Structure 1
């Protein structure tokens, strides 16, 4: 008769249990570190569980587009309120130019962190140009490359107002129906969060 098999002693079983326990702890730590990154990537790529609420009033531009993609060649190291006029600068466009200046003034002590500008695809009328020179001495003027603008925005015939960060990135876009208070609140919020410009 062969020797009876001895059950493992307590001292032999303990390392196996400890090893299993250690693996479970390592797995939990890895899930705690990598899990949120996987979840966040999935939420971004697949657009699920994205909150409906938002604290801004314009259209958020989060795709890395820049002022140059709009067809505007400019160097500005401050936040900028840029009005684009793909057609002539009529009533809506002129209202946005006025609003951009008022918003900059409304920033008060922070006004030096922002500028206002217009980029027009067509020359401005001589009357309006004279008014801008007289009443808007700090307004910057740029030509608008209509082909680049159309490529970036689609067929946008209406004037728009853009908030652009000091690196030239497009941040928010507004149409002519924007309320000045909403725009001012958005820009103040951006300046509060930003340590650039």
Structure 2
């Protein structure tokens, strides 16, 4: 007489196959969820598969310094065009201050999402101070800590214009040779991609 197979024996044979299949499904789900994050982090940290072309015109600040690291102690909940100068505010600095205001105006309906500011290490000349009071009423002014500024600015002593996000992170840096149209396009692109500020 042949052996009788009980339903209990049949279910025991299916259980290991079912467990193995469940584990495989769990591993696939984890791979789909965690894989892209691990790949993106590796690409950022190890700098591989990073495209050579770029769509911005300034110098990208990618290692995480903030406005405080720059030597400016201020809080701003919007995007900011900050002009910094470790010396007196000469012609290049004044041109960047003018440009920052024009860029903010050029944003049109998004102008309220950004502000413009000046951080200077030395007191401004009295005639320029009077001009700013008269013609730039919304310009925010901050003192600049030169000892902290040098590390982030990589020792550059000329005036710089920085785009800073609403969390205070430095995003892009420009020197006095920047074209207004390029700067405006960069800021518009950032505002389009951002849900903050």
What is the TM-score normalised by the length of structure 1?
Answer: 0.83
Structure 1 unaligned segments of length 5 or more: list them: 1-12
Deviation at 1:33, TM superposition (A): 4.1
Q: 1:189 to 1:26 in 2, by over 3 A?
A: same
Query: What is the match of residue 3 of structure 1?
Result: none
Q: Deviations over 1:119-149 (max 9, x none)?
A: 0011111111111111111111111010011
1:91 and 2:94 equivalent? no
Q: 1:140 to 1:16 in 2, by over 3 A?
A: closer
Q: Secondary structure at the match of 2:105?
A: helix
Query: What is the match of residue 169 of structure 2?
Result: 169
Q: Secondary structure at the match of 2:83?
A: strand
Q: Deviations over 1:133-182 (max 9, x none)?
A: 11111111111010011122221101100111122111111111111001
Deviation at 1:25, TM superposition (A): 6.1
Deviation at 1:39, TM superposition (A): 2.6
Query: What is the match of residue 185 of structure 1?
Result: 185
More deviation, 46-55/79-88: 46-55
Aligned counterparts of 1:140 and 1:128: Cα–Cα separation in 2: 15
Query: What is the match of residue 100 of structure 2?
Result: 100
Aligned counterparts of 2:77 and 2:29: Cα–Cα separation in 1: 44
Aligned counterparts of 1:125 and 1:106: Cα–Cα separation in 2: 28
Q: Secondary structure at the match of 1:172?
A: strand
Q: Equivalences for 1:75-154 in 2 at 5 Å?
A: 75-154=75-154
Aligned counterparts of 2:30 and 2:196: Cα–Cα separation in 1: 35
Query: What is the match of residue 157 of structure 1?
Result: 157
Q: Secondary structure at the match of 1:101?
A: helix
Deviation at 1:23, TM superposition (A): 6.6
More deviation, 31-40/100-109: 31-40
How many residues were matched structurally?
Answer: 189
Q: 1:22 to 1:87 in 2, by over 3 A?
A: same
What RMSD in Å do the two structures reach over aligned CA positions? 2.4
Deviation at 1:57, TM superposition (A): 1.3
More deviation, 82-91/50-59: 50-59
